[in-house]
Chains A and B, each alone.
Chain A
Amino acid sequence: MRLLTHNMLSCNIKGVANGFPLRLEAEKWVEKEVELNADFLRHIFPKIEWKALAGAARAVGYCELPEEADAAMLDSEDFLRRFHHALLEIHVEEGALVCPETGRGFPITKGIPNMLLHEDEV
């Protein structure tokens, strides 16, 4: 799972009002190089919750993202590279996603988060 997906996912349990962002507890992650596409980054930037991305990047040991970001920073080559690396090149392999409200954990195995809910959570 890339941090792109983590940034889109929110907790789906019934009655949870504020299920975003899911806390990322990463145990194992890998980095895979992907070609940088500035158009995609500019397109996706307004949809990214920056705080959540920066927090998740810290959870996998990548601390080079600024705390705050705005669209003007997209012109900087250096910023784009960091953004790209955090968003698309880090794959979380093992760990868990934890709902911020209920503390329910969704385990990640082999890079696939298990988002299945129990019957009483639907």
Chain B
Amino acid sequence: MPRPEVQAPPEIFYNETEARKYTTSSRIIEIQAKISERALELLALPNDGVPRLLLDIGCGSGLSGETLSENGHHWIGYDISESMLNVALEREAEGDLLLADMGQGLGLRPGVVDGAISISAVQWLCYADKSSHEPRMRLKAFFGSLYRCLARGARAVLQLYAENMDQSEMIMMYAMRAGFAGGIVVDWPHSSKARKAYLVLTCGPPSVQSYLPKGKGEDGAMCSEDEESDDDGNQTVGIYDRTRPRKKAKINKNGKGKEWVFKKKEQMRKKGYSVPPDTKYTARKRKAHF
């Protein structure tokens, strides 16, 4: 099935039938709850029992917000799909909901929020759904406003499904330009289904404290659906690059050289092609005035 991002804009794609899935499918609910728990863990809020004010960007039906509420936090949820927000109302989400487009900026006062999570939402910014949409400008507006509204030292954990390396690099680049420090944490990198990438961003300049947490299952541990293995991996992945660098073509400034030509001619002869004989003229450099 094609990615939802290429099918329709989010406010159209998440219509009533799609939104309904988020109340009826126990599988979706379980996955969402797991991801949001992990995101909250990566947020690394101080463990003093004080509730915080958090943002849930792309809160949808409020599944991720439920995890935040369970941990006692207050949250403000952003979503662009009215149908999803209606489901959130039905589910009696405890946070406040806003119908807004994150690509237009968040519109919050500076420095008021203690942390932000976002579950599978930010990659939507990479798609231009209207003629007025310019993904780069939208990413810039989003990360800029996110940076401004976060308190100093606060974190944002954005779980995202990037379509390819270019996309995740573009998202990362705009996050860095906005002033964030941080990187990508990949959980279960060896599994195609359970693999989850989290963009962990810290507001403010990089310091000793702003270390990057480790990804789960890095050491080859497999993710099982019902059993959570807690042995964290020992490797942190900055950017997970699947494309290897190309082999460098051996070309010096004089061209490929006489030996190379002889070698190729020999190869072709062995294959049975008719090849002109090797003479003193073979692969000789032409005069400059030619």
- Asked whether any CB of chain B lies closer than 8 Å to the CB of A30, the reply is no
Q: Tell which of B49, B101, B108, B151 touches A9, judged by Cβ atoms closer than 8 Å.
A: B108
Our pick among B100, B101, B109, B141 for the contact of A49 (Cβ within 8 Å) is: B109
Stretch of A53-61, A72-80, A105-113 at the chain-chain interface = A105-113
Complex CA distance for A114 and B112, rounded to whole angstroms: 21
Q: Is A69 an interface residue (CB 8 A)?
A: no
Contact A43 B52, CB 8 Å, known A112-B98, A114-B99? yes
Which residues of B have CB within 8 Å of A119? 130, 132
A64 to B113, CA, bound (A): 27
Report B-chain residues with C-beta under 8 Å of the C-beta of A47: 53, 111-112, 151
Q: Is there an interface contact between B97 and A112, defined as CB atoms closer than 8 Å?
A: yes
With A43-B50, A115-B107: A8-B113 Cβ-Cβ less than 8 Å: yes
Report yes or no: B96 in contact with A2, Cβ–Cβ below 8 A. Answer: yes
Q: How large is the interface on A (under 10, 10 to 19, 20 to 34, 35 or more residues)?
A: 20 to 34
What is the CA–CA distance of A84 and B204 in the complex, to the nearest angstrom?
31
CB proximity to A under 8 Å, residues B53-103: 53, 72, 74, 76, 80, 85-86, 89, 96-101
Residues of A within 8 A of B151 (CB): 47
**Given contacts A44-B53, A112-B99, A113-B98, A12 and B76 within 8 Å (CB-CB):** no
Given A39-B49, A44-B53, A110-B89, A5 and B104 contact (CB-CB distance below 8 Å): no
A19 touches B107 (CB 8 A): yes
A37–B76 alpha-carbon span in the complex (Å): 18
B104 and A117 within 8 A (CB): yes
B52: chain A residues at CB < 8 Å are 40, 43
Residue B135 at the chain A interface, CB threshold 8 Å: no
Residues 142-154 of B, flagged 1 when their CB comes within 8 A of A and 0 if not, give: 0001000101000
**A4 contacts B74, CB within 8 Å?**
yes
Separation of A53 and B191 alpha carbons in the complex (Å): 49
Smallest CB-CB separation from A114: which chain B residue? B99
Measured CB to CB, the nearest residue on chain B to A2 is B96
Cα(A119)–Cα(B96), bound, Å: 25
- CB of A71 within 8 Å of the partner chain: no
Q: Which residues of B contact A19 (CB under 8 A)?
A: 107
**Which residues of chain B are within 8 angstroms of A113 by Cβ–Cβ distance?**
98-99
Known: A1-B96, A39-B51. A8 touches B132 (CB 8 A): no
Is A116 interfacial (CB-CB < 8 Å)?
Answer: yes
Shortest CB–CB separation between residue A97 and chain B, in angstroms?
10
- Asked if residues B107 and A12 are in contact (CB atoms below 8 Å), the reply is yes
A111 touches B104 (CB 8 A): no
A49 to B96, CA, bound (A): 18
A22 to chain B, nearest CB (A): 9
Kindly state whether residue A11 has any CB partner on chain B within 8 Å. Answer: yes
The verdict on A83 contacting chain B, using a C-beta distance below 8 Å, is no
When distances are taken between beta carbons in the complex, the residues of chain A under 8 Å from B113 are: 8
Query: Does any Cβ of B come within 8 Å of A17's Cβ?
Result: no
CB distance from B75 to the nearest CB of A (A): 10
If A8-B109, A20-B109 touch, does A39 touch B97 (CB 8 Å cutoff)?
no
How far is B96's CA from A7's CA once the two chains are assembled, in angstroms?
12
CB nearest neighbor in A for B105:
A12
Task: Determine if A111 and B107 form an interchain contact, defined as CB atoms under 8 angstroms apart.
Answer: no
CB proximity of B247 to chain A, nearest CB, Å: 46
- Complex CA gap A10/B85 in Å reads 21
Give the docked Cα–Cα distance between A46 and B224 (Å): 45
Q: List 7 A-B contacts (CB under 8 A).
A: A1-B96, A9-B108, A10-B109, A12-B106, A39-B51, A88-B74, A112-B99
- By a beta-carbon cutoff of 8 Å, the part of chain A in contact with chain B is 1-2, 4-5, 7-12, 19-20, 37, 39-40, 43-44, 47, 49, 88, 110-117, 119, 122
* 6 A-B pairs with least C-beta separation: A12-B107, A115-B100, A5-B96, A40-B51, A39-B50, A119-B132
